[in-house]
A and B are shown apart, each in its own frame.
Chain A
Amino acid sequence: MLPVRIIPCLDVRDGRVVKGVKFRGLRDQGDPAELARAYEEQGADEVVVLDVTATTEARGTRLDTVAAVRARLSVPLTVGGGIGGIEDAAALLEAGADKVAVNTAALRRPELLSELAARFGSQCVVVSIDALGCGGAPGGDGGYEVVVRSGTERVARGAIAWAREAVERGAGEILLTSIDRDGTRSGYELTLLRAVRSVVRVPIVASGGADSPAHMADAVGAGADAVLAASIFHQGNWTVEGVKEALARLEVSVRPGYREAVSA
């Protein structure tokens, strides 16, 4: 296993970072490029930019935001939100994304994942899955269904089966968000993580519900390779560095030495 990646997520609307509870009640949190740079200096292993309203309002992700973040950031950048097809993805990669996270468009037309993988390589293609518990048997497809349009629309698709298919079609990573937990600070949805982990070999980024390093350690124990969080970083409860120190005390492997560029 590699050191677990700590990934601050910038939910962006109209060029500003926002963060709501369960995708509602958005409020302004700052400039994306400044925040991304600050998080890199704190030791972030990667940054995710999600245009949270792009799909809902049927507009493309802001390319200028991506370019501005890229100009400041020297760790990997994943961008998602409103990617309707291969040209949207190409434009984002050209603007400076290293990976694109595809959600609604891949559900509508799963071949998109294969086309993206063939053109850019699987390592560029992240499938973003927003899962909602639906009271079925835990771990089975009856347990979680996929939702789209920032959690406002159900698609009658089991989350576990969709994860498996997305990887078979070429996704090189899964960004797995529990809509039930998003913004609640009650911890990642571990049963969902275990269920997806059991069917795919690609890395999984756990998302939705983080409030503490202990939650992140739990997610790693459930099969996550990376943990994404927004509120706890934006609101200053934790720095990335503080999270890493706490995880190290919990015996979770993190990337050390980001302050010293080179060790002897």
Chain B
Amino acid sequence: MREAAAPTVTVVRTSTANLASVLTGFERLGCRVRTTADPHKVTSADRLVLPGVGAFAAARRAIDAHDLADALCDRLERGRPTLGICLGMQLMASGSEEAPGVPGLGVLDCVAGNYESGDEGWRVPQMGWNLVAPDEGCEIVPRGYAYFANSYRLTTAPDGWRPVWCEYAGRFLAAVERGPVVGCQFHPELSGGYGRALLTRWLEA
């Protein structure tokens, strides 16, 4: 679609998790897409996506089984273009109440928490489209409706990151940005035109 050479997007594949939505989402934008579980390719990728569905502990185990933690932390710290999606964003944090004692990658200094029980009217999981509102200075995540499917979320903005906020049984972090490193609690690849706009900006960042 773009005039320039098609960008290559590398997607971390550590299990049999469903990647078709992520892969086809980038393919529709004209990208070449490949998957990897090789730490050297994680390090060298121009643009890396860390997807994630399922359980925090299982995802962390999969990262360790492929010896990817150092390569992921290194590129996140160095500001190499990286996009964490849903659980992939939570894995960037220091941990999750879903799996006490299991460490995240620790790049975001905060812990994923559960939605409060007893909040009448708030369904868990949060499943559907919600309005996300970027703080001033955000350059990649736009304002608009994005698709969420999550039972856990981050609520405090980590130092050094631009927060994107959303409301669901209280305020939570819909996304964070630091240059071309972005974590999204929602699924840009399932967010229609809004998601395409976000992914296009990330590809150009």
Contact = CB atoms under 8 A, between A and B. Distances in A.
A124 B24 CA distance: 18
Contacts of A202: 123-125, 127
> 5 tightest CB-CB pairs across the interface, nearest first?
A261-B193, A96-B20, A93-B18, A2-B128, A121-B54
B18 A40 contact: no
Interface of B: 16-18, 20-21, 24-25, 27-28, 53-55, 87, 121, 123-130, 142-145, 147, 149-151, 168, 187, 189-197
A256 interface: yes
Interface residues of A, number: 44
Chain A CB within 10 Å, residue with most, of B127, B150, B191, B192:
B127
B55 A121 contact: yes
A3 interface: yes
B127 A203 contact: yes
Interface in A162-204: 172-173, 201-203
Given A74-B190, A202-B123, A261 B197 contact: yes
25 contacts: A1-B121, A2-B130, A45-B147, A74-B25, A74-B190, A74-B195, A75-B190, A76-B187, A94-B20, A121-B53, A121-B55, A123-B127, A123-B150, A172-B125, A173-B125, A173-B127, A201-B123, A201-B124, A202-B123, A225-B123, A225-B128, A256-B145, A261-B194, A261-B196, A262-B193
B192 A74 contact: yes
B129 A172 contact: no
- Majority SS at the chain A contact face: loop
